[in-house]
Amino acid sequence: MAAAQVLQSEWTKIRSVRSTVWTLGLAAVVTSALGGLISVLSRNRFDELSASEQLRFDATYISFAGMGLGQLAMIVFGVLVVSNEYSTGMIRASLAAVPQRGLFLASKITAAALLAFVIGLATSFVTFFLGQALLGPYRASISDPGVLRAVVGGGLYMTLIAVFSMGVAAMLRSPVLALGILMPFFFLISNVLGNVPATKEVGQYLPDQAGTKIMQVVQLPDDAPYGPWGGLAIMAAWVAAALLGGFLTLRRRDA
């Protein structure tokens, strides 16, 4: 069985359901619109900031402020792509056609990840340029040092969040269970753990806390012990672990 065939089939599956358009569309709109809104607010409040705050003002990162909410739609996309197979029972037809379960899962995740990357990257660029336009005099330029890395990193971050969700969904198999765990975790728990001083030591290694680093241009001295790419690597390690768990679950359990 050629991998290209399975990949093509998975692409057909993804493009032929409406949830794909809804979730990815929502991710793009929420991320860019909320980023734009916060950019406008930041521009109007710039003069009220203290001198040190003005010095640390990160125009790029501010335009990505909508990512925290927009990523939730990415999570829904990732969960649905995988757990739809289980909730509908389609998994049995799929695995009867592709008995090599590793190939099946790899193809599904590759197809979904490629789409998430394209949408994520486009969203990231739109978000950046929209945010900078609204920031007016305080804007950053794409040619400034580190900015292009942050913008491309925004696309990578959205992709990795989606793929992480796919791995978790493959482990849990139920969309309700996977969303019930992932949504509150990324919306609330991770932010609390990563920002409360008592837990920050551990919390900064959580996938989203580490991954967000790639979108920062102005690095703060008291910040995490990893750089932008280090942070992304930590996130990628989480993703790899989730995928491995998903693969082992799929291989061992009866469909």
By C-beta, is 33 or 255 nearer to another protein?
255
Under the criterion CB under 8 A, does residue 174 sit at the interface with another protein? no
Can you tell me which of 1, 41, 196, 237 binds another protein, judged by CB under 8 A? 1
Q: Number of residues in contact with another protein, rule: CB under 8 A? A: 28
CB of residue 6 to another protein, shortest distance in Å? 6
Burial of 7: CB neighbours in 10 Å, binned 0-12, 13-18, 19+: middle
Under the criterion CB under 8 A, does residue 208 sit at the interface with another protein? no
Under the criterion CB under 8 A, does residue 255 sit at the interface with another protein? yes
Footprint on residues 70-109 left by another protein (CB under 8 A): 84, 88-90, 92-100
By C-beta, is 54 or 100 nearer to another protein?
100
By C-beta, is 79 or 232 nearer to another protein?
79
Can you tell me which of 47, 48, 222, 254 binds another protein, judged by CB under 8 A? 254
CB atoms within 10 A of CB 70: 25
How does DSSP assign the chain, residue by residue? --HHHHHHHHHHHHHTSHHHHHHHHHHHHHHHHHHHHHHHHHHHHGGGS-HHHHHT--HHHHHTTTHHHHHHHHHHHHHHHHHHHHHHSHHHHHHHH---HHHHHHHHHHHHHHHHHHHHHHHHHHHHHHHHHHHGGG---TTSTTHHHHHHHHHHHHHHHHHHHHHHHHHH--HHHHHHHHHHIIIIIHHHHHHSHHHHHHHTTSHHHHHGGGG-SS--TTS-SS-HHHHHHHHHHHHHHHHHHHHHHHHHS--
Under the criterion CB under 8 A, does residue 9 sit at the interface with another protein? yes
By C-beta, is 1 or 196 nearer to another protein?
1
By C-beta, is 160 or 169 nearer to another protein?
169
CB of residue 73 to another protein, shortest distance in Å? 17
Under the criterion CB under 8 A, does residue 8 sit at the interface with another protein? yes
Contact track, another protein, 16-35, x by CB under 8 A: xxxx----------------
Which of 136, 140, 139 lies closest to 148 in space, CA to CA?
140
CB of residue 81 to another protein, shortest distance in Å? 11
- Which residues of this protein are in contact with another protein, per CB under 8 A? 1-2, 5-6, 8-10, 12-13, 16-19, 84, 88-90, 92-100, 254-255
